[in-house]
Amino acid sequence: MRNSSNMVFLTFFGFTFPDRVNIGPINLRVRRFISHPLQCLSCYSYGHGKSSCKEASQCGNCSALDSHPEEHCNAAAYCFHCRDAHQVRSRQCPNVSPGAGYFTAC
């Protein structure tokens, strides 16, 4: 029997996590899930959503403060998180992959 209701979500903090987890008599294999952390679509900080944002909005392409929306941006891509040449929401950004991850066991 294998269906999605057998899936258990576990959260581990840090870079190390076990290969197997025992829950009662059941031994579960752990698989890593790459998750995207909550990112605000207005100021592009992490940890809150746009609806609860109190910061100035930024361009998602060039990181300019309060000037233009991402769709109208003509500037070169610049990420204020890591000061590298990619869009703020890019998966290339090292800030997208923090140490905490989500795992499924099945």
Binding site for Zn ion (CB under 5 A): 40, 42-43, 45, 53, 55, 59, 61-62, 64, 73, 75, 79, 81-82, 93
- The helix/strand/coil state of 52 is helix
- The tokens for 76 are 């070169």
Minimum distance from residue 41 beta carbon to Zn ion (Å): 8
Minimum distance from residue 66 beta carbon to Zn ion (Å): 11
CA angle 93, 29, 32 (to 5 degrees): 5
- Distance of alpha carbon 54 from alpha carbon 26, whole angstroms: 45
Q: CB-wise, 45 or 104, nearer to Zn ion? A: 45
Q: CB-wise, 10 or 70, nearer to Zn ion? A: 70
